[in-house]
Amino acid sequence: MSRKSMDRRAFLRGAGGLLVALPVLESLACSSSSSQSETAGSQSQRLDVDKRLVMFFTPYGTAPDTFFPTGGTETNFTLTPQLAPLAAHQSDLLVLEGIDLVPFVKQGIDFVGHGAPFYYVMGGYPIFQGESTPGPGGMSLDQKIAQAIGQSSRLQSLPLDLGNSSQSPYGTISYTGANQPLPATRDPAAAFNKVFAGFNVAPSVVQAIHAERKSVLDFVLDDYTTLGNSVSGADKTLIDYHLQSIRDLETRLDNLASAQASCTVPTLNNPPQDPGTWQQGSGPDFYAIAEFHMELMALALACDITRVATLSWQAEMTFDGSLAGIEPNMAALQIDSHLASHSDWAKFGTIVTWYAARYAEMIQKLKDRNVFDKSLCVWFSENGAVRGNHSPYGIPYVLAGSAGGSFKTGRHVQCNGRPPNDLYVSIQNAFGITDTVFGDPGSCTGPITALNA
């Protein structure tokens, strides 16, 4: 295959949408020292397209002072009753204590509402205008990662929600920019069709696409190896790094072809029904919809239909006898989660424990689909867990998975008042995004290095 027969478009298409074209080299073109530095810096951003991100949001924080593990050591700790459903996955967890809404704390505020902290947690920019604020000041973490690693997947991201509507700020946790919400899908049948419409590709087609991509990579590897013998030492370092990136891509394509060849579209039989309108609680199929959405997320991630999926839980969820299939002790609460978070922390602790059990189910579904090892799940909320309800202190974050070895799990980590921004820097770095800030630079001090393996 000659160089003329392989144009730039073929490079991009053949490698699954990932850049394999030659970096700018000082030996081959005149460039200033600044442009050389920028080029070298860009080569250090190796996007991990074989990794998966799940964002799992539940509202109103947790029951104060009874969420985080107590006693023991960082690696030897006992989960509280609120976190007990996660016991089977404890070695895969990072329980982060001491993530604070730093801009609010600096103002000496011990009580925050819902909209303002929610938008700060999503977009990383402090907002003090209260509940009427239209949205966060920047792109949400899931969308930043999706735009980086999801360009060549069928769906750049899969945002789902449960029982929310435009009346609630929690209708989506995904924002493509400042005050730009990405609508989430509520209805199970609509979500299923969004994921699988037109996906049923014959194995022979998958094999043909894989063969084309492999031929491109073989051509590039041979071409770059020859070129490396005739350039400067500095350029050879760039080429060697680029070659390793291409070899990594070759391995990922092998894994991707195997996953796609084994994925078949399931049959949609009697999906649970979404009520279609916002209401206090969400009708008798709420639990069934939750199960459906989580299974759909795991399957879409495993089949590489998407690499980023989000699930936002009902804000005004009422736990009462109208919920079919839910545990009797939950139906007996006879209280909505918002009211419980203000006035009955014992009942709210029971609600958080129920959410923890659903999070455990999400983790297990990823394990069952053999994608957990390369995944990171982030369970979080917008309110804190200490010093009273709706506090800016102790925002609950429970991470599951190492993101392909980027994080060292099985730990209860003290973060000592770091903002969500710093955690998000660490997460985006784990996916190959080399930015040292997320959101407002003034609210960000850098990655939380204690999380790394």
For 358-376, the pLDDT digits (tens) are 999 999 999 999 999 999 9
pLDDT at 401 over 90: yes
Q: Is 311 exposed, middle or buried (0-12, 13-18, 19+ CB in 10 A)?
A: buried
State the Cα–Cα distance between residues 246 and 240, nearest whole angstrom.
10
pLDDT of res. 441: 93
pLDDT of res. 116: 83
The mean predicted confidence, pLDDT, of the chain is 80
Average pLDDT for residues 334-361, to the nearest whole number? Answer: 93
Which distant-in-sequence residues (6+ apart) come within 8 Å of 424 by Cβ?
124, 141, 438, 439
pLDDT of res. 408: 97
Average pLDDT for residues 244-251, to the nearest whole number? Answer: 60
State the Cα–Cα distance between residues 393 and 408, nearest whole angstrom.
24
Report the half-sphere exposure of 12 (CA within 13 A, side-chain side): 5
- What is the tens place of the pLDDT at every residue in 168-216? 677 889 999 998 999 999 889 999 999 988 776 566 665 666 666 666 6
Q: Is 211 exposed, middle or buried (0-12, 13-18, 19+ CB in 10 A)?
A: exposed
pLDDT of res. 325: 76
Strand, helix or coil for residue 331: helix
pLDDT of res. 382: 93
- What is the tens place of the pLDDT at every residue in 43-72? 345 677 889 999 999 999 999 889 999 889
Strand, helix or coil for residue 134: coil
Q: 185 near 313, Cβ under 8 Å?
A: no
Q: Which one has a higher pLDDT value, 267 or 24? A: 267
Q: Which range (187-196, 291-300, 309-318, 422-431) has the least confidence?
A: 309-318
pLDDT at 340 over 50: yes
- The neighbour count for residue 254, using CB atoms within 10 Å, is 13
pLDDT of res. 18: 40
Q: Which one has a higher pLDDT value, 84 or 106? A: 84
pLDDT at 434 over 90: yes
pLDDT of res. 242: 61
pLDDT of res. 25: 46
> CA 128: distance to chain centroid?
26
Which distant-in-sequence residues (6+ apart) come within 8 Å of 355 by Cβ?
58, 313, 379
